[in-house]
Structure 1
């Protein structure tokens, strides 16, 4: 009797498990997010003066070349090294060419940006999610808290100069 009861319960649990599996697979939400192997980041967003305090250099740069996935295959994290030609230093000091290491939101060859950069080792990095401001037809759009709006490079440089602490 115990064997019959055990066999019956096993059959019910097996059938129930199979039903649940088929039901869940068949009713999966096709709009649900799927795994994406691309790198993602939750960037901090610093107010202007705090962003500046974390920055080594603010410069008008043009991307001269990019190298996607320059690391060995065992790293497997997509990345890009972008060679930047420094056109004008607005804050700090920088050589005429720097290499920007990026994991997300890559800079594009030929585009010009105002960038807030920090140097670690041989590479430069964006300071926060608002550190790369695209220059479109001479206009820079800033989403930096406390400095939102559209600026020419000269207007942006003037805002930057006002924010630099006096020594």
Structure 2
């Protein structure tokens, strides 16, 4: 009897890549289903190397309606509708070791990508206004709730939390 061998996805944190390239994946999609159907907001603060980025990527694939990626997993049997939602996915790992100016540049770049899809209001200047505008326009254009995923939210914070001027000291 021939056994199917799969490679471990070492260093791969993208659900679609793991599934498309047939890497070993331990199915946790039943928990993703429960989390997405019985909670409105979810904040995960698990330890490093605990799968937060992979989970965020899984959520992105799920809310993007990528039914093909869930073939053979618990989600395939649980989900009946497979609705595609607008997803705004911000990976803040690219903002490690940056100062305030570089962080603003990084946020501008990430927001600009989505503004290319959903447009930008002239009155929206700072990142908060731009994000709110994006959410509003994505909802208006699709008629669907908007999913906002923020991965590595703490990356830019950890670099400056020790600085006195940032602590108000």
Normalized per residue, the structure richer in helix is: 2
Fold equivalence (TM over 0.5): no
Relative to the length of structure 1, the TM-score reads 0.22
Normalising by structure 2, what TM-score? 0.22
Higher strand share: 1
If asked which structure has higher relative contact order (CA below 8 Å, sep 6+), I would say 2
